[in-house]
Chain A
Amino acid sequence: MKAVISGIGIISAAGFNLEQNLEALKNGKRNGGPVSAFSTILPYPVFEVNSLPEKCAEEGMRTRSLAFTALNEALDDAGLQAPLSGFRTGVCIGTTVASQLNDISFYTAFRKSGNADLKPVNLFLKGNLAESVACSLNASGPSVTVVNACSSGTDAIGIALSWLKTGLCDIAIAGGADEINRVPLCGFGSLGILSNSLCAPFDKNRSGLNLGEGAGILIIEREDFYIKRCGKPSLYLSGYGSFADAYHLTAPRPDGTGLESAIRKALSDAGVLQADICFVNAHGTGTLDNDKVEGSVLSRVFGNKIKFLSTKGYTGHTLGGAGGIEAVYTAAALKEGWIPSNAGFECKDDNIPITPVTENTDIKGSFALSTSLAFGGNNSAIVIERA
């Protein structure tokens, strides 16, 4: 059984649909800047989505609004319309912020008096991403909100693949979404991994990541089901691999064996060899540790000529959304035949054996890999194929 990617949708600081995103990437446009969503004394730039399409904007549910924006574009792209109750539909979406009850004003009131208006709690209970997407689409299959920190989106897509392969559903909605929020901004700041300037993935002088927000959603279908519905597929989701570091709560395993195993598993799951991969959309957050480990693993697995990049210089690190957004970019790049330059990169780091692409680059080939590394030592990778 093969899994067809029949629709993609995206919203990020680079644009509120796929066309705008690709335009920004092509022109090297980086919309990072100071936080506007809330007031903070933290100096770190972020990648915010400036305007949400009105029909998707719901107050107090920003992550959900972002997810629905990308979802609508993906459904359009796939030629599907809600409700999807006529099909066996599963929903699998990654996030971090939307899974946490973390409303600061609610908690401030509660702390003061032991009483607080429950509106944020009620919104939270309505806002489980997969549950609310499944409900809006009348989806009757499995639904899971993946909370695997920074690999959530990639894992969500991998889980959808498992469901399709084992016949649990015909269509799966998969991806990730996250918002800029004060709690993780303070948290990542305390970990000392936020950069004071725009991030520079894989660069010698990189000084940390920038948080971002957005959503990337894929519509994935069983091939037999899709062919009956639409005809010839143009993209496939061909493989997924995930391995744990079993090492540390926040630091990646220095030898990178967890990531390496995840990549090798994704390749074997897809039935392809290293040489078949024409580019890698790397996690590349811009932190010292991540880029060093990831760079050496990529060179170990693919050799020193591999074309690779991180797109976080255009979107920031969108946490639970990153895997979804980067899968959308990877799929779009395979379709269009080019990848953008690795924004922010200037100087080669002697500790990283390979160099990312530094200009818009044509790609020839059918397979690409997208990787995610997370907090807690999760490493995940997916393989996407152009038909």
Chain B
Amino acid sequence: MYISGIGIVFTRGRGIDSFEKALKEGWIEPSRTGSIPAYRVGQETLTDASLTKKMRRADRFSRMAVLSAVDACRDSGINVNERAELGIVLATAFGPHATTFSFIDDILDYGDTNVSPTKFSNSVHNAAASYVSAILENRGPTVTITQFKFAFQNALILAGSWIAEGRCDHVLCGCADELGTVMEYACKMKLNIAKEGKINPFAFSDTPVSVPGEGSVFIMLSKEKGLNNYGKATETSFPRNITGNPDLFVIDADGMSANETGYRDIIDYGSLIAGYSPVFGSMLTGSAFNFAAAALMLKNQIAYNCVFQDNPFGAKLCDETSAKNLNEIYCIKICRPEIKTIIKLQK
């Protein structure tokens, strides 16, 4: 399937142009407003005068999803509301958890009979996709899924099935996750937070460090090549071993799994290696952001510089932003050496 549009909301703003700029700029200091350093999405990013009325009730989680979905549509140039053949798949690890806790605040503060129905409605995982379909006026199938390990990969597989069986001509396939205060606490307790704010994706460590992030990415996937085209997503699978020789590996190492030593294996393939978690932060759904980076590189035929502190295993890293002949990119996520996924992208 063809990648015909990308929308993104992340710590440095909104839109594929902001993302491209961030990839070129490289690392910046995370925000330190909460209990841990993190790549948070600013409130100013989440307002949009043209959508004020339609988003009036939407919480942060839904706003991130709506804005990235709307942008992916615009980027694709596809006129959505004229066709019902558009599907929507939203994947998330934690859903609108901040709203769930805000609703529990209501229960604790006002009692079981006196709680906000709007907060409850927003706390349901598929509220965000519901705002997206209502705002795009799209009547096609709309599904929200949740996974911890491979949320985005499974969303891509579903999008591929829908297109393959003719259920849809296009699928808006995306991820969203937010970083509320409870999640910050869980991250602080369960992860090795990089105190100096630097994720180190190529350390391939058994005690990797992370800087949590939040945001949303939507990819417009199309059966036919569209007006805008980033390239093709040809396969998403869970292989035992990785075979093939891409021009570039993009890896999801970001400190969210307990052990990143599994990535050491790909050094031997001799292909160039990249990974952009330091640009958007550590997230279980970070794969979607790296996928967006890979698609952008295919379209622009430019490899972006990776941010890293050290390279103890001498991996062949993409250490400068430069024009490159990129025909094939593999996006890799390895949770444990035996549990891995590969997304193959082609020019």
Contact = CB atoms under 8 A, between A and B. Distances in A.
Do A and B touch each other in the complex, judged by CB within 8 A? yes
Interface of A: 40-42, 96, 99-102, 104, 107-108, 110-111, 114, 116, 118, 121, 125, 128, 130-131, 140-149, 155, 159, 162-163, 165-166, 168, 182-192, 242-250, 257-258, 261, 374-378
A183 B103 contact: yes
Interface of B: 57, 84, 88, 92, 94-95, 97, 100-101, 103-108, 111-113, 115-117, 120-127, 129-131, 133-134, 136-149, 154, 157-158, 160-162, 164-165, 167, 182, 185-186, 189-190, 238
20 contacts: A142-B154, A142-B157, A143-B147, A143-B154, A144-B154, A147-B126, A155-B143, A166-B165, A168-B161, A187-B123, A242-B142, A243-B140, A246-B133, A246-B134, A261-B139, A375-B121, A375-B127, A375-B130, A376-B126, A376-B142
A246 B138 contact: yes
Contacts of B127: 249, 375-376
A291 to B, nearest CB: 20
A378 B147 CA distance: 20
B56 to A, nearest CB: 11
Contacts of A250: 117, 121
A243 B100 contact: no
Contact of B107 (A182, A243, A245, A248): A182
Given A187-B120, A258-B139, A42 B112 contact: yes
Contacts of A110: 182, 185
Contacts of B116: 190
Contacts of B123: 100, 183, 187
Contacts of A192: 117
Contacts of B97: 100-101
Contacts of B84: 243, 261
Residue among B121, B126, B138, B164 having the largest count of chain A Cβ atoms under 10 Å: B126
A165 to B, nearest CB: 5
A31 B325 CA distance: 67
A376 B129 contact: yes
Nearest to A103: B104
Contacts of A144: 145, 147, 154, 158
Residue from the set A142, A182, A191 with the largest chain B CB neighbour count within 10 Å: A142
A191 B121 contact: yes
Contact of A248 (B134, B145, B146, B190): B134
B108 A108 contact: yes
Nearest to A163: B161
B164 A166 contact: yes
A42 B144 CA distance: 30
Contacts of A142: 154, 157-158
A102 B113 contact: no
A337 to B, nearest CB: 32
A134 to B, nearest CB: 10
Contacts of B189: 118
B108 A100 contact: no
B165 A145 contact: no
A258 B139 CA distance: 7
A128 B95 CA distance: 13
Given A118-B189, A145-B147, A375-B121, A242 B141 contact: yes
Contacts of A243: 84, 139-141
Nearest to B180: A101
Given A40-B112, A187-B117, A246-B136, A147 B125 contact: yes
Contacts of B185: 110, 114, 116
Contacts of A118: 186, 189-190
B113 A189 contact: yes
A247 B189 CA distance: 41
Given A104-B104, A246-B139, A162 B162 contact: yes
Contacts of A159: 143, 158, 161
Contact of A96 (B124, B141, B158): B124
A80 B166 CA distance: 32
Contacts of A188: 120
B145 A128 contact: no
Contact of A147 (B88, B105, B144): B144
Contacts of B164: 166
A166 B84 CA distance: 21
B145 A131 contact: no
B143 A146 contact: yes
A212 to B, nearest CB: 17
Contacts of B158: 142, 144, 159, 162
B134 A377 contact: yes
A216 B139 CA distance: 28
A148 to B, nearest CB: 5
B149 A131 contact: yes
A146 B158 CA distance: 11
B133 to A, nearest CB: 4
Contacts of B101: 102, 107
Contacts of B149: 131
A375 B123 CA distance: 11
B95 A107 contact: no
Contacts of B160: 166
Most chain A beta-carbon contacts within 10 A, residue among B88, B107, B140, B186:
B107
Nearest to B163: A166
Contact of A166 (B144, B147, B161): B161
A131 B148 CA distance: 8
A140 B108 CA distance: 42
B145 A101 contact: no
B127 to A, nearest CB: 6
B142 A99 contact: no
Contacts of A99: 95, 125, 146
Contacts of A100: 95, 97, 100, 123, 125
A374 B127 CA distance: 11
Contacts of A140: 238
Nearest to A99: B146
Contacts of B186: 118, 121
Contact of B146 (A147, A155, A245, A377): A147
A172 B204 CA distance: 35
Contacts of A168: 157, 161
A185 B107 CA distance: 11
A323 to B, nearest CB: 12
Contacts of B108: 104, 107-108, 111
A249 B126 CA distance: 9
A119 to B, nearest CB: 12
Given A243-B139, A377-B133, A146 B154 contact: no
Contact of B145 (A147, A186, A247): A147
